[in-house]
Amino acid sequence: RLLIIDFGSQVTQLIARRLRELNVYCEIHPYQNVTDAFLDDFAPKAVIFSGGPDSVTREGSPRPPQSVYARGIPILGICYGQQVMMQDLGGKVEAGEHATAEFGRAFVKRAGEASDFLTGWFGDTGREQVWMSHGDHVSEIAPGFAVLGVSPGAPFAMTADLERRFYAVQFHPEVHHTPNGAKLYENFVRLAGFKGDWTMKAYREEAIRAIREQVGDAKVICGLSGGVDSSVAAVLIHEAIGDQLTCVFVDHGLLRQNEAEQVVTMFRDHYNIPLIHADESERFLTALEGVTDPEVKRKTIGKLFIDVFQHYADGIEGAEFLAQGTLYPDVIESVSFSGGPSVTIKSHHNVGGLPEKMGLKLVEPLRELFKDEVRALGRELGLPESFIGRHPFPGPGLAIRCPGEITRDKLAILRKADAVFIDQIRKHGLYDEIWQAFVAILPVKTVGVMGDGRTYDYACALRAVTSVDGMTADYYPFSHDFLGETATRIINEVKGINRVTYDITSKPPGTIEWE
Ligand code: XMP
């Protein structure tokens, strides 16, 4: 396996992505944790130093343990990682001045000899577009290194000690704006002897072994939300330890049409997983009566969820572990981006505080995976495609799609309208092109006319967006025919709605959900 030492770059995760795409197993660890003993234990076959915000010219700036250079394994240094490598090995780095700082697109030109590291790079033109983002720069390369490429702002844009298999680049090969960057990773892992044989089948077997080892014959509780992550985690854990696992599905009464039945049928009947269906909708809806402020809604649901979950978990005798579908991006974010002052836009509903409160240890079998890898693992485990490809659904459920007061009446109308909208999207073959689609019921009634009579019913908004990660989004460009047909269907089939609008706000400035 390959070790990425994280010096705090914003794009360290992308390095891992590029390597996973090459079927190479890698892990990111923050530099603080990488000690000599850690290296002995991890036994990496190759190491990558990420970029980072610090300056190697500063006393006490982040470094790897110096023994890393003596292990006879290939090392690739990127940006800050390049500067670390140069300084550690006897070169010189100068602190940034405006004249030498480089940000954004640049072109690197071939310089010096060809090498295996450069196969497929520097095509016919002898130059490649790269993405630079650095203040400091290397002013003298370390002994044993040769220059492989230069850019106008970086005479040492690419250098290598070919004999020791140390490679150092000033730019970021992992980002989209270095279009051919994957080639360098491919060459690097090949040089390091990786075969690219890391697959989901291998991951599944390894994960099952690890779960058995961690849990022994103790009992595990898993909170099921009906989403992909917790579902895949549950099925995987069940495969590892069978009935030592009990799932708790808290039904807060804010789910979509037929959703609770689907979850119960799939897990209890299809997978034979012991499942407690905690139908607590009355409690949640009562607690939400009269609540209109979005943050109060979120906090009310979040708090009650924890209480309810804990209540059911307490009833499971001898449970020692809590399973969570934590993903790799959640794990890394807490390493690289900790401490930054950021504004809370929405209080996200999750079960983060649960384990400490309940005195349970955590099982997180998806900690190493990205979202699309979780989907691949779900397929490997035989979860139906219709389930794996489902749009994300927020923890607070329909509550945040019902601006203003939440009433049982409005929820019932919302469920029906939402089901028609999704049915339309599926019928037109658009479901997989859309990141998320739903209906929000608006807190306004408007006047209409139907069959010669006056109506005074709710207005609703359709929302459908494209996105890669939910962080930014654009509205989906439905055809007018589609929108017209959908509006007609909703008004005809859903009693209580007499007006349909389409939300064409992107994110930013909007958010995906309405609250
Ligand atoms: P926003 O509305 O912030 O949503 O643009 C971004 C993505 O996050 C989902 N979302 C949530 N997911 N708990 C969740 O598990 C929450 O409290 C929550 N709020 C929003 C939203 O559906 C979208 O996919």
State pLDDT tens for residues 147-164. 999 998 889 999 999 999
Q: Is 349 in the pocket of ligand 1 (CB under 6 A)?
A: yes
Whether 300 has a pLDDT exceeding 80, the answer reads yes
Residue 351's pLDDT is 56
In 3-state terms, what secondary structure has residue 101?
A: coil
Alpha-carbon distance values, 123 to 83, 103, 114, 129, 327 (Å): 26, 24, 12, 11, 37
Terminal Cα distance for the chain, rounded = 43
Q: Is residue 101 part of a domain?
A: yes
Whether 168 has a pLDDT exceeding 50, the answer reads yes
pLDDT band at residue 117 under the 50/70/90 scheme: very high
Same domain, 373 and 228: yes
Place of tokens 């044993």: 144
**CA–CA separation, 221 and 319 (whole Å):** 7
The dihedrals phi and psi of 506, each to the nearest 5 degrees, come to -90, 175
Which structural domain, as residue segments, surrounds residue 433? Answer: 407-502
Same domain, 218 and 182: no
Question: Which residues partner with 166 through β-bridges?
Answer: 75, 161
Q: Is residue 279 part of a domain?
A: yes
Q: Is residue 268 part of a domain?
A: yes
Task: Please state the rounded mean pLDDT for residues 6-33.
Answer: 90
Span from the CA of 387 to the centroid of ligand 1 (angstroms) = 19
Q: Which amino acid is present at 103?
A: F
Closest Cα to residue 119, out of 20, 189, 18, 48? 189
Same domain, 204 and 176: no
Q: Which amino acid is present at 80?
A: Y
Q: Which of 191, 210, 230 is the last residue of a domain?
A: 191
Residue 340's pLDDT is 38
In 3-state terms, what secondary structure has residue 275?
A: strand
SS3 percent helix, strand, coil of the chain, rounded to 5, is 35, 25, 40
Q: Is residue 314 part of a domain?
A: yes
Which DSSP helix (H) or strand (E) runs through 240?
Answer: helix 228-241
**CA–CA separation, 410 and 256 (whole Å):** 13
Q: Is residue 70 part of a domain?
A: yes
Cα dihedral 376→378→383→389 (10° resolution)? -60
Q: List pLDDT tens digits, range 302-318.
A: 999 989 999 998 999 98
Same domain, 178 and 30: yes
Nearest-5° angle of CA 157, CA 176, CA 45? Answer: 65
Query: Which of 398, 513, 514, 515 to probe ligand 1 with, by most ligand atoms within 8 A of CB?
Result: 513
Q: Worst-scoring range by mean pLDDT, 340-344, 376-380, 451-455? A: 340-344
Place of tokens 């495969």: 239
Give the helix ranges, DSSP H, for 112-158.
none
Whether 349 has a pLDDT exceeding 70, the answer reads no
Q: Is residue 134 part of a domain?
A: yes
Q: Which of 172, 191, 210 is the last residue of a domain?
A: 191
Residues 379/330, Cβ–Cβ less than 8 Å: no
Q: Is residue 397 part of a domain?
A: no
The dihedrals phi and psi of 128, each to the nearest 5 degrees, come to -140, 145
Same domain, 136 and 186: yes
Same domain, 146 and 217: no
Residue 369's pLDDT is 86
Instruction: Report the nearest-CA residue for atom 14 of ligand 1.
Output: 394
Which DSSP helix (H) or strand (E) runs through 440?
Answer: strand 436-450
Residue 242 belongs to a domain with what CATH number?
Answer: 3.40.50.620
Nearest-5° angle of CA 17, CA 18, CA 23? Answer: 90
The dihedrals phi and psi of 292, each to the nearest 5 degrees, come to -120, -20
pLDDT band at residue 100 under the 50/70/90 scheme: low
Q: Is residue 112 part of a domain?
A: yes
Q: Is 223 in the pocket of ligand 1 (CB under 6 A)?
A: no
Annotated binding residues, written as ranges, equal: 225-231
Span from the CA of 324 to the centroid of ligand 1 (angstroms) = 18
Whether 339 has a pLDDT exceeding 60, the answer reads no
Q: Is 302 in the pocket of ligand 1 (CB under 6 A)?
A: no
In 3-state terms, what secondary structure has residue 220?
A: strand
Same domain, 334 and 211: yes
Q: Is 8 in the pocket of ligand 1 (CB under 6 A)?
A: no
Residue 39's pLDDT is 98
DSSP structure string for 296-345: HHHHHHHHHHHHHHHHHHHTSTTEEEEE----HHHHHHHHHTTT-----S
Nearest-5° angle of CA 496, CA 499, CA 503? Answer: 120
Q: List pLDDT tens digits, range 482-502.
A: 999 999 999 999 999 999 999
Q: Which of 388, 415, 445 is the last residue of a domain?
A: 388
Can you give the three-state secondary structure of 243-267, one letter per residue? HHEEEEEEECCCCCCCHHHHHHHHH
Q: Is the link from the previous residue into 508 a cis peptide, with omega within 30 of 0?
A: yes
Which DSSP helix (H) or strand (E) runs through 103?
Answer: strand 102-110
Task: Please state the rounded mean pLDDT for residues 236-242.
Answer: 98
- The ligand 1 atom at the shortest distance from the C-alpha of residue 471 is 6
Q: List pLDDT tens digits, range 387-403.
A: 899 999 999 999 999 99
pTM above 0.80, yes or no: no
Q: Which residues are catalytic?
A: 79, 172, 174
Q: Is 513 in the pocket of ligand 1 (CB under 6 A)?
A: yes
Residues 442/461, Cβ–Cβ less than 8 Å: yes
Task: Please state the rounded mean pLDDT for residues 121-148.
Answer: 92
Same domain, 104 and 151: yes
Annotated binding residues for ATP, written as ranges, equal: 225-231
Residue 88 belongs to a domain with what CATH number?
Answer: 3.40.50.880
Residue 375's pLDDT is 93
**CA–CA separation, 449 and 332 (whole Å):** 54
Closest Cα to residue 245, out of 304, 324, 327? 324
Q: Is 91 in the pocket of ligand 1 (CB under 6 A)?
A: no
Task: Please state the rounded mean pLDDT for residues 286-301.
Answer: 96
Alpha-carbon distance values, 177 to 68, 105, 132 (Å): 30, 7, 9
Task: Please state the rounded mean pLDDT for residues 449-474.
Answer: 92
Residue 173's pLDDT is 95
Residues 223/351, Cβ–Cβ less than 8 Å: yes
Same domain, 253 and 304: yes
Residue 367's pLDDT is 87
The larger pLDDT score, comparing residue 331 to residue 247, is at: 247
Is the ipTM of this structure higher than 0.85? yes
- The ligand 1 atom at the shortest distance from the C-alpha of residue 396 is 17
Residues 465/436, Cβ–Cβ less than 8 Å: yes
Query: Which of 228, 324, 326, 348 to probe ligand 1 with, by most ligand atoms within 8 A of CB?
Result: 348
Same domain, 382 and 235: yes
Tally the domains of the chain. Answer: 3
Whether 180 has a pLDDT exceeding 60, the answer reads yes
In the predicted model, what is the mean pLDDT of the chain? 92
Same domain, 353 and 497: no
Residue 337's pLDDT is 40
Residue 97's pLDDT is 67
Same domain, 378 and 434: no
Q: List pLDDT tens digits, range 194-223.
A: 999 988 998 899 899 999 999 999 999 999
